[in-house]
Structure 1
Amino acid sequence: MQSDLDMASTSLSNLLNDLQLLIVSGVLRQSNAIVLSHPRADSGKEDLSFFIKDLFTRLQIGGVEFKKKALESLLQLLNDDEKSASVVAKEGNVGYLIHLLDFHNQPSVREQATFAVSVLASASEESRKSVFEEGGLGPLLRILETGSTSLREKAAIAVEAITADHDNAWAISAYGGIAVLIEACRSGSPVTQAHAAGAIRNVANVEDIKTVLGEEGAVLVLLQLLVSGTTAAQDNAAIAIAILASSGENFRALIIKERGLQRLMYMIQDLSSSNTLEYVLRAIASLSASDLMGRTLSSSTTFIIQLGEFIKHGNVTLQQLSASLLGDLPISDGNKRAISSCMGSLVKLMESPKPVGLQESAAQALVSLLTVRSNRKELVRDEKSMMRLVQMLDPKNEMVDKKFPVMVVGSIVGGGSRGCRKRLFAAGAYPHLQRLSSMEVVGAKKVMQRLAGNRLRSIFGRTLRE
């Protein structure tokens, strides 16, 4: 008898709680509260708001089947109308939805709730903020660690979206999430790997998390993804590696220890994604600060030739990064001769004022290549490049910082070749250098004197011979 009374009391208490939810939600005041149809695409904001309140009320008061139907309607709404996510975050009980991610809930309910939270985390800034503030990151990381393949994929998408907000990124370490993300990169499905790597990319800039990434072995896993991951995984891994490589000597040492430079050099030959290539080159540039790594890069003819190809055929970012590397590396004369065909492209890059630093990178790369005599002769025979170079010297051309073409012309005339100087003089470089000298442009006077002195000696010599 007592047991029956307890059961009846509990049942009545649950019904009273459900009724209280119904009263508070306001759905009973609507004439269509018993059966509510899915809002049409042209429905007003008020109708959508009421539909969402009704959904979450049904989600909280019903049994398993009731919850499943409510979640199906919620997912349909979120998938059909991306804008509805913000209304769901505002009008719905996101905290209760996250509660359904708990392992104690019925598996099918938990799966649908995970899908819904993943959509909310990815859909808008407002809904993402709601998921985070209601404590969604911890449960999502637990699902990423132990859930089924489909659940891990949805959890990884949500975690990447949440950590994209820098204000949320720090919280990953509070839940022990770094180890979870690294393991997801190591053993997850291709989709899970890509988004887990994206989350690591997002948190790699957080100072306190960098140390944990190094200690947990993130470098090796990210390098492996560069080789075996999908295009999306490679993109995210490359960005993360580039961030870590620029973070200090300790991380560069870790990357070098795992033969990271060799892996990165190998990658640029096969990658088709320009975005991934960009960050691979950024990582290589950071590693080249080491004298040993700089010599390794300089001695690789294949790598140097690839840089030359990027300068000729890559997008402007790849061109700038490649030119910067060429200007900084101690390349042998043989390798400089091997990429002489990119000099015309470097001259052309010097004409562009954007992005910032492009003119300087192109000029320094040219100065490096022009230390080889055959390259100087090849450049001055290129009429288009000579015309561009002389036009850049013109004081009226305000698009180019004059010190850069002066540097290049100085490298040509400093080589001692009479033919090179003669071609520059004939192309009209001297009058521009005169004006630049009077304007006190750095190096212009010295270059002008070398060009003029050679010209005068040539005239006097021809007169004496005659």
Structure 2
Amino acid sequence: MKLSENEADVVEASNLQYIQSLLTSIPHTISFKGKWSLIEAKLSDLKSQLSDVTDFPANSLSVEILRSLSHTLSQALTLSLICHSLHLPSGKLKTQNDIDSISSKLTTHIHDLDILIKNGALDKNNENENDIVSKRESIRVESRNLITRLQIGSTESRNSALDSLLGLLQEDDKHVLIAVAQGVVPVLVRLLDSTSTSEIKEKTVTALARVSNVDSSKHVLIAEGLMLLHQLLRILESGSGFAKEKACIALLCLSHTKENARAIGSRGGICSLLEICDSGTPNSQAIAAGVLRNLARFAETGENFMEEDAISVLLTLASSGTLLAQEYSISCLSNLVRDDDNLKLLIVKRGVINCLKTFWDSNIDFRGLEVAVEFLKTLASDERVVDIIISDGFIQRIVNVLSCGVLAVRIQSAKAVYRLGCSNAKVRKELGEFGCIPPLIAMLDGKAIDERLAASKALSVMLICSGNRRIYRKEQKGIVSAVQLLDPSIPNLDKKYPVSILTSLTHSKKCRKQMVNSGALLYLQKLVEMEVDGAKKLQENIGRGKLWGVFSRP
């Protein structure tokens, strides 16, 4: 409710009168003179602050604080008069406690008034809707007022301010950006300390989770560093299930940096996250697995995962969690075993192939398959695992996704073909027989450089097999598509792979003629000058064929 200027003036005048009376009374105190001297110094600060407050029009927030101050000053005056005597009706210990309580309250009032003045919460525009010229400005003013309320007053008032803030943040991502710009994040981080109630902590971490979901605000959370991490990890250890889930959402944002990942691992965060994966709600399990996936990207956390027997928990979640939980668990396992062949073999023996197969076959729209194909590629780097992959029918699965509509999945599939093709001749032959070559040729014409590079790299290995070369020659666009990749003006595409593809086909006179007609010699001259591997040999092979054609009999 908006308050009148007269009411505000009365409260301000009352406080100044109380302060003056106290400053007159304190020199006459006999009991606890030292404590009263400290209070006297605080009264001087309050008097100065009240002078600043009177320079601004009153609003509900300032009058609320001034009323509370008036009550404290009244108590202080009564207590100071009692201390004019050595005889204390309530006893020495009780009176001392009362004086300490008054001193503490005055410190809180000084803190609250300081925030009120510095935050601009007394600005005349805060209470005058007619002066608000836009919706954006109104949100800015509301955010600033709520941020001020989060820093002052009672637990109940802060709790109420959090409710209002959460309502504001949930309405629109733009509201999040405005609140962040007004400085809400550092204030929320301070609210997560041990003195806050569990209810306030839940609401605070919910607000931080909301901020972490807006990309443009993530850097502000990251800037809070170890202080925020420490508070979030404490919630993972002892918070409610709801608070733990929200803490995991915030950690998804924070766990992308090596420094934060190391801190989370060294402070027991991986253990707490694994406990959530083991016994949390389906949604919290998925989010916790997502944080673990981020952490597993860094070698520094590997030992922490092994100490906590993470493999068992992740394998269980990969086989029985929600699709998102399975996706994150598989991605986490992929990161963990990436550079450890013995670990790859271990998780294969413990049934990870069946988990991968179930997850793969459940993703009918292909969108979640990027991590599965990438994991398959990681496992295929160990030749001991390749035969198991082949026997479980993954070649056909790869062929099916090479031509799917999801670019990232196609790229990972081509990389998996390359990795499998590097293993042995038998696998290369099977890849060709199952139909890998036509979709890979189609990928050579893709818009994305990464797709064209992945396809050319896979085909360069596939064409080591003579049977695969026959399949390639039957594809109408095979030669033209490979020649186009020789163009030096195409950036970030290693030319040695299309050179290798074409070189493997030069035994065919028809193919050599197609290469020449497609402009290969023009490109190759530039590639020779650039010293691209194999370019000179390819130029000689198809160039010699051209000269033979010139001098052949009619």
TM-score by length of 1: 0.77
1:162 is matched with which residue?
254
8 Å contact from structure 1 (residues 160, 195) kept in 2? yes
- 1:247-286 to 2 correspondence within 5 Å? 247-272=339-364, 274=366, 276-286=368-378
Post-superposition offset of 1:435: 7.6
2:75 is matched with which residue?
none
Residue 219 in structure 1 maps to residue 311 in structure 2: yes
1:71 is matched with which residue?
162
DSSP 3-state at the match of 1:198: helix
Q: Deviations over 1:254-274 (max 9, x none)?
A: 433433244334533333465
8 Å contact from structure 2 (residues 235, 247) kept in 1? yes
1:207 is matched with which residue?
299
Alignment-mate amino acid for residue 373 of structure 2? L
Q: 1:436 to 1:78 in 2, by over 3 A?
A: closer
| Selected match of 1:308 from 395, 399, 416 | 399
| Selected match of 2:538 from 444, 453, 456 | 444
In the alignment, structure 1 segments of 5+ residues that lack a partner are 415-420
8 Å contact from structure 2 (residues 277, 313) kept in 1? yes
1:361 is matched with which residue?
457
DSSP 3-state at the match of 1:26: helix
1:418 is matched with which residue?
none
8 Å contact from structure 1 (residues 346, 363) kept in 2? yes
8 Å contact from structure 1 (residues 111, 151) kept in 2? yes
Post-superposition offset of 1:121: 5.0
- Distance (whole Å) between structure 2 residues aligned to residue 333 and residue 158 of structure 1: 45
Q: Deviations over 1:138-171 (max 9, x none)?
A: 3322322343322221121122222234432221
Name which of structure 1's ranges 12-21 and 356-365 shifts more when overlaid on structure 2. 356-365
2:115 is matched with which residue?
25
- Distance (whole Å) between structure 2 residues aligned to residue 379 and residue 76 of structure 1: 60
2:412 is matched with which residue?
318
In the alignment, structure 2 segments of 5+ residues that lack a partner are 1-89, 529-533
Residue 114 in structure 1 maps to residue 205 in structure 2: yes
Alignment-mate amino acid for residue 441 of structure 2? V
DSSP 3-state at the match of 2:311: helix
Alignment-mate amino acid for residue 220 of structure 1? S
Alignment-mate amino acid for residue 106 of structure 2? L
- Distance (whole Å) between structure 2 residues aligned to residue 54 and residue 96 of structure 1: 13
Alignment-mate amino acid for residue 274 of structure 2? I
- Distance (whole Å) between structure 2 residues aligned to residue 15 and residue 336 of structure 1: 77
- Distance (whole Å) between structure 2 residues aligned to residue 91 and residue 430 of structure 1: 63
- Distance (whole Å) between structure 1 residues aligned to residue 298 and residue 186 of structure 2: 32
| Selected match of 1:86 from 180, 183, 204 | 180
Alignment-mate amino acid for residue 145 of structure 2? F
2:8 is matched with which residue?
none
Q: 1:452 to 1:268 in 2, by over 3 A?
A: farther
Q: Which has the larger radius of gyration?
A: 2
Residue 16 in structure 1 maps to residue 116 in structure 2: no
- Distance (whole Å) between structure 2 residues aligned to residue 307 and residue 143 of structure 1: 42
Alignment-mate amino acid for residue 68 of structure 1? N
Q: 1:185 to 1:82 in 2, by over 3 A?
A: same
| Selected match of 2:228 from 128, 133, 136 | 136
- Distance (whole Å) between structure 2 residues aligned to residue 53 and residue 17 of structure 1: 20
Q: Deviations over 1:89-123 (max 9, x none)?
A: 36963453112xx3x75443333233234335555
Matched-pair identity in %:
21
- Distance (whole Å) between structure 1 residues aligned to residue 341 and residue 428 of structure 2: 30
1:371 is matched with which residue?
466
Post-superposition offset of 1:203: 1.7
Q: 1:166 to 1:436 in 2, by over 3 A?
A: closer
DSSP 3-state at the match of 1:93: helix
Post-superposition offset of 1:235: 3.4
- Distance (whole Å) between structure 1 residues aligned to residue 455 and residue 169 of structure 2: 48
RMSD of equivalent CA atoms: 4.2
8 Å contact from structure 2 (residues 140, 179) kept in 1? no
Alignment-mate amino acid for residue 317 of structure 1? I
Post-superposition offset of 1:75: 2.3
8 Å contact from structure 1 (residues 311, 345) kept in 2? yes
Name which of structure 1's ranges 290-299 and 263-272 shifts more when overlaid on structure 2. 263-272
8 Å contact from structure 2 (residues 381, 420) kept in 1? no
Post-superposition offset of 1:56: 2.6
- Distance (whole Å) between structure 1 residues aligned to residue 327 and residue 135 of structure 2: 36
8 Å contact from structure 1 (residues 156, 195) kept in 2? yes
Q: 1:387 to 1:69 in 2, by over 3 A?
A: closer
